[in-house]
Copies of this chain bind each other. A is one copy, B any other.
C-alpha cells in the first residue's frame, strides 16, 4: 500500500510509541518480575481516584442523556468552557471569554493540531518548522510533524551543580539564530527533566515568536495551576503569540483524554475549525465531569492536599535511594528540582550508552526510558552524541516498593557496567 510522504512521517516509530510498547510489554510480563520505571502514568493516589470516580458518578446520575447522547460544540461543552473561563479568570485575574478556550481530546492532539496548522509549507513553498526551544522535552513531540525534518530541537545549556546535580537552561541565543520557525513548543516544567524557564526567558521566547509571527505553545501538563507535580518559575500568560495547554491527565485522568487550550481568539479559532473537521469534539461525559471539578474546586483540593505532597515525598524518596544505591565510582548526576514526576539522570562516562543500558535493564525486568528519545534526531552534534545518549528517565509513578526495588536493581546493573581499572570495557 502506498503511503503519502506525510504518511511515512507519521508511521515512523517515535519515542512515544516505543514507550507505549514498553508499557504493554511490561504489563504483559506481570508485576512480580518487573520493575517498571518507564510509564508516564500519574501516581496512584487513592483519594484522587475516589474523587474522580465520585464526580463521574454524579455526572452519570444527573446528566447522562444530556452529555452522552447528543453531539456538542467543537469548542467544548458550554459548561466546561464556562468553567474554564471562570476558573482561570479567578486564578490569574484574567478576563478571558469562551472565544479564548478550546477543549480537545488530550493535549497531544491539541499539539498535533497546532503543529499541523502553523508549521509546514507556506505560500512561498518554504517549510516552516516546529521548534522545541529547550530539549530534552516530551518524547511525544517528536511524532507531531507531517513534514520530513520538520522538527528542530535546540540544545540546552548545562549547568553543573555540586557533585551530583545539574540543570538545563534555555539557550536563547541559539533560538534567536533560527529561521523558518512556524511554531515553538515546550513543556514547562518539562517532561523529562523538570526544567523550567523563568520570566526573563519567557519574555525572550515571546519576542522570538512575535518576530516570526509564530505561536509559542506552552504545555503546562505538570505545572500551573494544576496538578503542580513539578514547580514552575512561570505562570500561564496571555499574549497575542502564546497558546497555553492544560490537561487533566496528570491530575488523575490520563485515559479519558480531556485537555484544553487558552489563548487569543485568532490562534484558538483555527484550532476549533481543525477539531470540527477532524474529531468533531472531545468526549462529553468526561467534559461534564471536569466542569464539576473546576466549578466545585475539587481540582484545587486534589492538587494541594494530595498530588503535590505525593510527588514531593516520592522525589525525596527517590533522591535518597539513588544516593544510597548508585555506584559511588560513577559520575552520575540528577537534574535538580524539588519534586516532579521523573528523575532525569546523566551518567557522564564515555562507556555509557542509554540504549545499551535500556536493553540490559529490560532483559533483567527493569524498564526505564533511554535519554535520546527526548532529543530531536539525528543526534549529530558533539553535544548530543556525548550527552543525550548518557541520560535516562525514571518515573516516580510506581509505588514505593516498586520504585525502591527498581532503583536498587538498576544501580546494581549499572555497577556491573563500570569498566575495571585496567581500562577494559
Residues of chain A whose beta carbon lies under 8 Å from any beta carbon of chain B: 1-7, 10-14, 16-17, 20, 23-24, 39-42, 44, 49, 52-53, 56-57, 60, 64-65, 67-74, 105-106, 108-109, 112, 116-123, 128, 140, 143-144, 146, 182, 213-215, 241, 252-257, 266-267, 269-270, 273-274, 276-286
22 contacts between A and B (CB under 8 A): A2-B213, A2-B214, A4-B116, A4-B120, A4-B121, A4-B122, A5-B123, A6-B117, A13-B273, A14-B277, A16-B276, A16-B280, A20-B73, A20-B276, A39-B70, A39-B71, A41-B69, A52-B68, A52-B69, A53-B64, A112-B277, A257-B283
A43 shortest CB reach to chain B, Å = 10
**What residues on B are CB-neighbors of A241 within 8 Å?**
1
Contact B56 A69 (CB under 8 A): no
Closest chain B residue, CB of each to CB of A284: B255
A254 shortest CB reach to chain B, Å = 5
Q: Beyond A4-B121, A17-B74, A112-B278: 14 further Cβ-contacts under 8 Å?
A: A2-B128, A2-B182, A6-B121, A7-B120, A10-B117, A10-B277, A16-B277, A39-B70, A52-B64, A53-B65, A108-B278, A257-B279, A279-B279, A283-B286
**What residues on B are CB-neighbors of A60 within 8 Å?**
53, 56-57, 60
Contact B1 A70 (CB under 8 A): no
**What residues on B are CB-neighbors of A7 within 8 Å?**
116-118, 120, 270
